[in-house]
Chain A
Amino acid sequence: MYDRILVPTDGSDVSAAAEQAAIAFARAHGSEVVVLAVGQPTPPIASAEAAMAIDPGLDDAVLLSTAQEHARNVANAAEAAGVRCTSLAVLDYSPADAILATADNQACDLIFMGSHGRRGLSRLLAGSVTQKVLAEAPVPVMVMRPQAGHKRAGRT
């Protein structure tokens, strides 16, 4: 039970709380961790003028290397705790789809995630990444709530 735990990361404080909890849980129960960072590319834009305005920081290669870095950081923390870890980084327009696909193809039996990684608590009710994963995941999802100190940190 709970042999492979999927931990999506976006490098934020909220996902950090879920990462730490997942690593501690994996360590206590002898599970393996699969870390996934998803870079979300800017959708193609028809107008050349609009395309000129795109932040070059959002170039796919940069997005992917940022995702790889986030995944590697978590993998390093897992290994430091003596937890076996696979680190993955992908680009996907839908982070939720990437998380669901990875849970499936990596045969994960539990997902640990923060409840407002990148979209804000207000989006929980309006179709955020976590909401979609919760509605569609075939395996249990442990949702880590922000701790009291963070509670008012996001948008309200």
Chain B
Amino acid sequence: VTVYKRILVPVDGTERGAAALGSALGLAKLGGGTIVGVHVAGESPLLATGDIGGPFYDAWRTEADRQGREALDYVVRRATEAGVPCETVLAPPGPPWEGIISTARAHACDVIVMASHGHRGIAARLLGSETQRVLVHCDIPVLVVR
């Protein structure tokens, strides 16, 4: 691939996700590409209690989806401002790296843009664990941004 046309950008509603989004939009503008925003909620802590499908889980899921849609709405706003075509995917809850990689495949993305760092303490000096997992498991290029 010489010009990246379908650019996957995972967002989690935090500032570092926003930094990756800025780079993804830049890359899209450069080559006339499309942004594919994805949000993957980490699996519910209730899963361990076997409560999946119960009222507590349903409430958790509703809130997780709401936050996901909010993060994706932000992607749409930024892409619209930048004049970049955009799609969004609200992936089912699960390990984020799995949701990111399977969305990249399902939506024929040719690059993933992710932040390099966690946000506080020692995590701010290390490569983020989710980014690391994506790097190990995926087979398309990953643009890692600070």
Contact = CB atoms under 8 A, between A and B. Distances in A.
Given A134-B116, A144-B141, A151-B139, A29 B30 contact: yes
B122 to A, nearest CB: 11
A2 B23 CA distance: 11
B89 interface: no
Interface residues of B, number: 26
B144 interface: yes
B82 interface: no
A140 B114 CA distance: 10
A115 B144 CA distance: 12
Given A135-B116, A148-B139, A143 B2 contact: no
B91 interface: no
Contacts of B138: 145
Size band of the A side of the interface?
Answer: 20 to 34
A115 B2 contact: no
A28 interface: yes
Nearest to B111: A142
A25 B33 CA distance: 14
Interface string A45-78: 0000000000000000000000000000000000
A125 interface: yes
B94 interface: no
B52 interface: no
Interface of A: 1-2, 21, 24-25, 27-29, 115, 121, 124-125, 131, 134-135, 137-148, 151
